[in-house]
Amino acid sequence: MKSSAPEPHLGLLFSEYPDVNGTIVNEMALRLVTSNEIKQQLVNQIDQRIEPSFASRTTDWNSSSRDAARPVVRVFIEQLVNDAFHRVEIK
């Protein structure tokens, strides 16, 4: 990279990029590992595991209430997964 062209490419200069160190490499790797596909797979697995519990706890609810509550539970699961991934640090 030290021999990169000094002229701007798409308005950006090489000097504007941050230095690559261990922390930045770890953050980049973490972003790759925690892609949206992986998060979605985890959300789907958790959702499938709690489905029987949700069904048993909402047997006395009418169907429209159950249908309205299910997406709320799914969004809650997605938020918990995202929060958990944001707390993960590679050491």
Domain residue ranges in the chain: 19-87
- Token pair listed for 48: 């499938």
Q: What is the pLDDT of residues 29-60, one digit of tens each?
A: 777 766 777 889 999 999 999 999 999 999 99
Q: What is the mean pLDDT of residues 62-82?
A: 94
How large a percentage of the chain has pLDDT more than 90?
Answer: 45
CA gap 82, 18 in Å, rounded:
26
pTM above 0.75, yes or no: no
In the 8-state DSSP scheme, what is residue 8? -
Q: Would you say 34 and 87 are in contact if contact means Cβ atoms under 8 Å apart? A: no
Backbone CA torsion sign across 55, 59, 61, 62: positive
